[in-house]
Amino acid sequence: MKLPSFKSIKKTDYEADYQKLVETLSISLNNGIQVLYDTLNKRVSLRDNVACTIKDVETEVNSLGIPKDTLIIKTDLTTKIEGCQIIYALNKTSGHNYVQTTGGPFISYEAIQNGISVNHIAGLVADNKYLLRVVIYQQ
């Protein structure tokens, strides 16, 4: 269901005795309601509205899914990490070797100070370089 359009509060819609009060309140109310209206009408962005860090990293894994080089992803999060996920994977070695799992690649990590240390990535083709977009969620 799509929300009906938002009609802002205007002092001219009220009796003269209340117009000064309505004008004062409408500044805050109209702004707050417009933000909520926009949010509920598909205008929420992951980067701007969710407590997370999004990073693009390049990596290559061996046949066991372990990164060949130490892979540490730094964040600016201030609380405990809730989890992370890969939302994009581009094979930079071959355009014909796609991610090998139906659920997408899955990342296993260990939380460290100011980020994560990646232990394993399931679903990538071994010995291929990948560009991964990783979302790290804050608790």
Report pLDDT for 134: 97
Helix (H) or strand (E) holding 130: strand 129-138
Mean residue pLDDT of the chain comes to 91
103 has pLDDT over 80: no
What is the average pLDDT across 116-138?
A: 95
Question: Rounded to an integer, what is the distance from CA 7 to the centroid of its chain?
Answer: 30
pLDDT tens digits, one per residue of 70-81: 999 999 877 899
Q: Using DSSP, state whether 127 is helix, strand or coil.
A: coil
Report pLDDT for 121: 97
pLDDT tens digits, one per residue of 4-51: 888 999 999 999 999 999 999 999 999 999 988 988 888 888 888 899
Q: Using DSSP, state whether 102 is helix, strand or coil.
A: coil
- The C-alpha angle with vertex 105 and arms to 102 and 109, in degrees rounded to 5, equals 145
